[in-house]
Structure 1
Amino acid sequence: AQGNGTALALALGSGLCEGRSTGQADTTPHLTGAVLNCVDWSLLTPASREMLALAEQVKGRFQGDPSFEYNLAEMNVQILTVVFEHLIVTPVMKEEARLTATIELIDRAVGIVPRGAFVKTPLGTVHENRHFEGLSLAEAKKLSSYFHFTDPVNLKNKTLLEKADLDPSTDFLDSLEHDIPRGSWSIQLEKAGTVVVLRSLLWLGLTFYHVPMTKQFGYIYFGTGEKNLDLPFML
């Protein structure tokens, strides 16, 4: 059973989950839901580019109130005005919008899948690989065997010579081995070597697991929603 999930344990005092339909595998997030009362779920609206830009400027923990407004001008951030449809407004962001954008930022930065779990067709569509039977134990211990499940950035900058050994059907995403800063992932064997666990040191609280030689993998995030900006000084 494959899956991924994102949860901000302290944000809004809520539970969050994110899922993709079976067989659906484009690299954009789908169906993010939130629950405030442990009973009723509601879908969160997708994050816009403006929301992502503002969320990256907000510092500090969530307040626990979805209607709370962050006045970015008072926070002395770099972006003091944002253009929305040719109107210049003072950047104000509600906590609910920050939460939605933070989920997207976490997914883009540390949402990962094993190599071969998804395939890209010659037409450019991405599908779940029904023939995927898991990584071998040797492969599962390498960062190069895991990919960011989002649009690639580093892959586009590779030369033709560097791409010569890549399989275009499976190697169409960025691998973790070239992540910056180096050392931003820890990889460990647990349960007597039967489960491989990766943890992000950039987004503390993100844990990915994979059971080698099986289709079982997934990730979950329990954290404060704050990026570990001190990581380069800790390595």
Structure 2
Amino acid sequence: MSFLNSEDVPAFTLAGFTLNVEERATLFASLAIKKDQEKLPSIHLWGKILGINQDYLLAQSVSATSLFERKYYYTLDNLNWYQLPEVTPEERRQADSIQGRFFGDPSYEHTVPKNHEDPESSETKMREEKRLAATISSINYDVEIVPRGAYYRDLNRVVRKNPSFQGTPHLLAERCSRLPKEDFGQTHCYMHFRDGFEVTTRTLTERINKFDDAIDIFESIENDEPKGVWSVQAEVGGTVAIVRSLQWPGHTFIHSASPLRFTSFYFGTGQKNHNIGFML
């Protein structure tokens, strides 16, 4: 799980993103106020979706009982945060089929095209706030990542942050509680941060002599199709890895070895690249 805090903002200048003076002055203070008002266990900046008329700044809160239970919030003025509605898997599919840009108006109704696989389906409408929540949920599922070894599953099958994870180069890190220097920028050391991963024979074959049932609890992004859907580059003498998704242009993950930090941010139009298979 990787969220953007105020101290993480300078790191994102490496990826070409920053917050203006007004946003820095008010944004994180307003998030702290929202956390206190609703007694949330946490709330962090998630990203920014660029609309035609206005832009959405977005935040998410994580449940105290599960790292995968989220509440999403948006603001149009950097001060007042509003909770987005919950969405179903079907609503996520519908939102994914909408091709146009966000308008920047939560009440705007987008047209959802009919599902050609279902002859009885017809065009429907979806409010922009619902589409916004569905888009955030889809991006989290598709491209939210963490370094291998940053989390583990305890005996009660609860996913927890790994206190021994150091993220620094270490040549003897066969159990990958630290990332080996030669693997720092490689996709096999980054994992999808989502629930429901089950170990299969294929998993054991792919990770032979490297499998650890405590920390190999997520799917590696190395297997994502099409090949090349992730861009990984090293900065600052190889001590910072920048991982970008080409499936969701605008999603950036940064992993710094010194100081130890991994965090992500989305900055884009909220549109999925459905043509990625033809581009690679």
Q: Work out whether residues 115 and 146 of structure 1, in 8 Å CA contact, stay in contact via their aligned partners in 2.
A: yes
Moved more, 208-217 or 118-127: 208-217
Determine helix, strand or coil for the equivalent of 2:183: helix
Asked if residue 122 in structure 1 is aligned to residue 164 in structure 2, the reply is no
Asked if residue 63 in structure 1 is aligned to residue 108 in structure 2, the reply is no
Q: Work out whether residues 114 and 123 of structure 2, in 8 Å CA contact, stay in contact via their aligned partners in 1.
A: no
Q: Work out whether residues 8 and 223 of structure 1, in 8 Å CA contact, stay in contact via their aligned partners in 2.
A: yes
Residue of structure 2 equivalent to 1:20? 62
Counting matched residue pairs gives 226
Equivalent runs, 1:36-75 vs 2, <5 Å: 36-72=76-112, 75=113
Q: Work out whether residues 56 and 76 of structure 2, in 8 Å CA contact, stay in contact via their aligned partners in 1.
A: yes
Determine helix, strand or coil for the equivalent of 1:3: coil
Structure 1 residues 41, 100: closer, same or farther in 2, change over 3 A? same
Quote the offset at 1:3 in angstroms: 2.5
* CA–CA distance in structure 2, aligned partners of residues 158 and 109 of structure 1: 21
Equivalent runs, 1:96-135 vs 2, <5 Å: 96-135=129-168
Determine helix, strand or coil for the equivalent of 1:32: strand
Residue of structure 2 equivalent to 1:30? 70
Equivalent runs, 1:1-235 vs 2, <5 Å: 3-4=3-4, 5-11=45-51, 13-20=55-62, 26=67, 28-72=68-112, 75-78=113-116, 91-136=124-169, 137-152=181-196, 155-156=199-200, 158=202, 161-162=205-206, 165=209, 166-212=211-257, 214-235=259-280
Gaps of 5+ in 1: 83-87
**TM-score under structure 2 length normalisation:** 0.71
Quote the offset at 1:91 in angstroms: 2.6
Q: Work out whether residues 203 and 227 of structure 1, in 8 Å CA contact, stay in contact via their aligned partners in 2.
A: yes
Gaps of 5+ in 2: 5-44, 170-180
Determine helix, strand or coil for the equivalent of 2:70: coil
**TM-score under structure 1 length normalisation:** 0.84
**Deviations 1:155-186, CA, capped at 9 Å, x for gaps:** 44636555654111101100011111100011
Structure 1 residues 18, 159: closer, same or farther in 2, change over 3 A? closer
Structure 1 residues 132, 159: closer, same or farther in 2, change over 3 A? closer
Determine helix, strand or coil for the equivalent of 2:79: coil
- Output the aligned Cα RMSD: 2.8
Quote the offset at 1:54 in angstroms: 1.2
Structure 1 residues 69, 157: closer, same or farther in 2, change over 3 A? farther
* CA–CA distance in structure 1, aligned partners of residues 133 and 188 of structure 2: 29
**Deviations 1:191-226, CA, capped at 9 Å, x for gaps:** 232211011111100110001265300110101111
Compare the two structures and name the one with the higher helix fraction: 2
* CA–CA distance in structure 1, aligned partners of residues 190 and 203 of structure 2: 21
Quote the offset at 1:32 in angstroms: 2.0
Moved more, 150-159 or 166-175: 150-159
Equivalent pairs: percent with the same residue? 34
Quote the offset at 1:104 in angstroms: 0.4
Quote the offset at 1:123 in angstroms: 2.0
Determine helix, strand or coil for the equivalent of 1:97: helix
Determine helix, strand or coil for the equivalent of 1:208: strand
